[in-house]
Amino acid sequence: MIMEKIHLANLQIKNLCLENSHVKKIEIQRCNLVDCDLSLTVTAGEVRISNSRLENVQLGVFSMVTSVENSSQLIRCNLRVVEELFVSDSELDACTFKGSDEDRKDRPGNLFVPFFQQSELHGDVTLPFDKVVCEETYFHGKLLRMTKGGSSISLKRARLRMLPRIDCEGKINLSLEDCDLLDPCCFTVNLTAYKGIHCFKPCEFLEVEFPSKVCEINFPKASRFYNVRFKDGLEACVANGCRFEYCNLGYGQEAMANCLMTQCNFQACRFPFLEDGSPVSNFAGSNFVNCRIQWSGPFAHEESFVINSHWLRKWNLAGCTVSDGQQV
């Protein structure tokens, strides 16, 4: 069956079934749909769901564009996403995206970026996408699973009480921009961007890499960093009373620029060599155990961390201790 348009408005429908059809556009507005099946054998140029409630609805339609908007609510539904997905001002509860991976197997060059805006996702979520962008969007489940190695998640302008555990078979990247972290969070994935973040409770960073410089972040007291690599260092950051274990604080003269990191504990960490043009930083009252300073130039090497070292002369190390018991 070939149709120009299917427009459902102000209806309550149960057990609707659509199959073996081609439709240019499917619109569902102000409807309540329960136990319906829009089969995998249906194609559509666009599917638009607005101000509607769908429960146990299988949206298997092969559609280039799918949008869910205007206070819609989807409960235990499946969304088949071929190219574009926009979710705005809506809720998805225990929803899946089955069929989306299969549709893209023969198009590896395409990058699919679903966009969630001012929405809420409940329950554990599996996202079979290359990249996901979320703006003012909240995850309420305990697990967020990405099926594609190398995929990335971007969270922007959100006040987050929790972050789900992010699971992926391969490498995954997380970007946080202009977010408030209201409760303690634990990060275990690479943070490609960490900008404009306000942490209100201590956080944990475990086996994390920051590939770009971390700037102007105030890490709450008692935050913990374990095997964290600050590839390009830190600038104008505050981390008083924090714990760093097996961390690499970066290379080069700008790696630790204008930071306030007093009364911290550093264990088996790597710090950069400093020269005449290096910025000043404050590490007063900190403890350094089995730490080293590292040089990444043409003759890369390491030296012991010694408080009166010429290479650390740009840091305030007043009241600090090192593993051999030296003090100043």
Structure confidence at residue 324 as a pLDDT band (50, 70, 90): low
Among residues 134, 103, 105, the alpha carbon closest in space to that of 121 is found at 134
327 pLDDT above the threshold of 50: no
Tens digits of per-residue pLDDT, 65-120? 999 999 999 999 999 888 889 999 999 999 998 876 666 655 555 567 899 999 99
- For 62-91, b where at least 16 C-beta lie within 10 A, e where not — what string? bbebbbbbeebbbbbbbbbbbbebbbbbbb
Contacts of 298 (CB under 8 A, 6+ apart): none
Determine what percent of the chain is predicted with pLDDT higher than 90. 52
Can you tell me the mean pLDDT for 230-244?
Answer: 94
Q: Which residue has the higher pLDDT, 161 or 326?
A: 161
* C-alpha–C-alpha distance, residues 260 and 249, integer Å: 14
What is the pLDDT at residue 70? 95
What is the pLDDT at residue 136? 94
What is the pLDDT at residue 328? 41
Tens digits of per-residue pLDDT, 247-287? 999 887 788 889 999 999 999 999 887 776 778 899 999 99
Among residues 77, 81, 36, 43, the alpha carbon closest in space to that of 61 is found at 43
What DSSP element (H or E) covers 120? Answer: strand 120-122
* Poorest-pLDDT segment among 23-27, 44-48, 159-163: 159-163
315 pLDDT above the threshold of 80: yes
22 pLDDT above the threshold of 60: yes
Pairing of strands 224-226, 204-206: parallel
Tens digits of per-residue pLDDT, 176-185? 999 998 888 8
* Poorest-pLDDT segment among 118-127, 152-161, 302-311: 302-311
What is the pLDDT at residue 75? 97
What is the pLDDT at residue 215? 92
Q: Describe the strand order of the beta sheet including 204-206 as a list of residue ranges.
A: 186-187, 204-206, 224-226, 243-245, 265-267, 287-289, 321-322
The pTM score is 0.83
Tens digits of per-residue pLDDT, 3-15? 889 999 999 999 9
326 pLDDT above the threshold of 60: no
242 pLDDT above the threshold of 80: yes
* C-alpha–C-alpha distance, residues 325 and 30, integer Å: 72
